[in-house]
Amino acid sequence: MSKHNRASTVVAFTLFFAGFANPTHLSLAPPPALADQTDATKPPLAMPDGATDVQYDAEAGSLEFNSTKSVKALSEFYRNLAKTMGLEEQTSVINKDNMAVLNFTKGEKALNVTVMMMGDKAMVTADGSLLEGKSQTQADAKPAAPALVAIDKDGLPIPDGLGNMGSTRTQFSHAVNFSAPNSVADIVAFYRAELAKKNWKEDSAKIADDSADLKFTAPDGPATLSLKRNGDMTDAELTVSEKAKAAASPLAPKPGMVKLVFGNMSDNPADVVVGGKHVKMKPGQGAKAPDGPTLEVKPGDITVVSKNAKENFTAGPDEIWMVAVGPGGLMVVKQ
């Protein structure tokens, strides 16, 4: 018997119970009223002790369970329960030892329960508007992420009202970064709208549900937007490379190449290996100014190895990267 096909336009509470030929008395405390219907997993209708195989669908307003109680005892249980709930009993012609029908109403609300004898157990089925509650999807639904409203931070747009935001500046680049509860798609849409206002040109985009990498041409030079979903938050960073400033610097690489600038912040000599080439530094060399050793390499994936550390990073053409050796290991920063 389907639990979805008994909903009636007539407000009714129908109860079918199959019980034993010699029912035993069911001793009960005063039955509770309907439970809190904000819980999508807890049936809002009280059940007798020992109910098993309980299945409740809040969205459909249906409940099923098995019981070893008799028809007479279960009928008494639900009549007493109906009184505490303020339900009015309607006339029913089915009230036998192996089947019982109880009809109840309460205003515009309805509840239908069917119980049939299945072997040595009674199968109880109920449905109706008095059983309806929030679906599990509705109960588990998270509040919508806040709308993204732009503010200016160091010349770059960033969403307002975030507790975790910051900015960085190197010799030839500046960036903003933050974490937000909004989806990757929401943040991509936010930046496409805001950067279009600044006349930035979008050059390429790789967008997935949990990450995104977009490249732009900005007035100051190339820019990148990187997004990564991290649990319930999305980490974002917008970086602008100041191409003209970098090109005018004596540290600028040859066209299409990458310039690595080394510095030793430790009190000991350092030896760093890049692509099989050794770069040796005296203690403190290049620590206070970019006057340490330099090395030009091809763009792509680059590995830097020192005595106690190893760093991997990806550099693009015409970029300048700082490689610093410190007491804690290696630090690689795009300039």
Mean pLDDT by 10 residues, the chain (335 residues): 35 30 36 44 80 83 83 76 78 74 77 71 77 56 75 89 79 86 93 93 94 92 91 90 73 82 86 88 81 86 86 84 82 78
Q: Domains in the chain and their CATH numbers?
A: 13-139 (no CATH), 150-244 (3.30.310), 251-334 (2.60.40.4150)
Can you tell me the distance from the alpha carbon of 261 to that of 272, in angstroms, rounded to the nearest whole number?
12
Can you tell me the distance from the alpha carbon of 96 to that of 14, in angstroms, rounded to the nearest whole number?
14
DSSP states along 34-82? PPPTT-TTS-SS---TT-EEEEEETTTTEEEEEE-S-HHHHHHHHHHHH
| Token duo for residue 332 | 């690689």
Instruction: Tally Cβ neighbours within 10 Å of residue 65.
Output: 22
- 122, 19 contact by CB (below 8 A): yes
Output the pTM of the full model: 0.47
Is residue 166 helix, strand or coil? strand
Q: Which helix (H) or strand (E) holds 177?
A: strand 173-180
| Token duo for residue 25 | 């008395």
Can you tell me the distance from the alpha carbon of 68 to that of 123, in angstroms, rounded to the nearest whole number?
9
- What is the DSSP secondary structure assignment for residue 130, as one 8-state letter? G
Can you tell me the distance from the alpha carbon of 200 to that of 238, in angstroms, rounded to the nearest whole number?
13
